[in-house]
Structure 1
């Protein structure tokens, strides 16, 4: 998880990727990072198993966190 939470997140932010998701399979939480700023993101939103998110690339789409889990 270190690679995703630290190294990969820095790379995405540094290169201006507008949105970065981490799905924690152990906890069932989806972390959505938005608004890259330097080597980090200004916004973090967490969604539980019953949550739903609208990706920036398809704002009219609704993705249920439960649908992403095994």
Structure 2
């Protein structure tokens, strides 16, 4: 095997535990981070859906052009 491939492989194996360790050093447990990311995801989904639903309601309740 080539040396760069070995470095990449070993780095990929090390990444998940290193990320968890860094997050834990930040003062939050992995469960806390999952909660924060879930709430962020939920807020983004709500932020994307509310304007779409408001537009649909305006179109539904708006004046019709039927004469």
TM over 0.5: no
TM range (shorter): under 0.3
TM-score by length of 2: 0.28
TM-score by length of 1: 0.27
Instruction: Please say which structure displays the higher CA radius of gyration.
Output: 2
Higher strand share: 1
User: Which protein, 1 or 2, shows the higher relative CO under an 8 Å CA cutoff with sep ≥ 6?
Assistant: 1
Higher helix share: 2
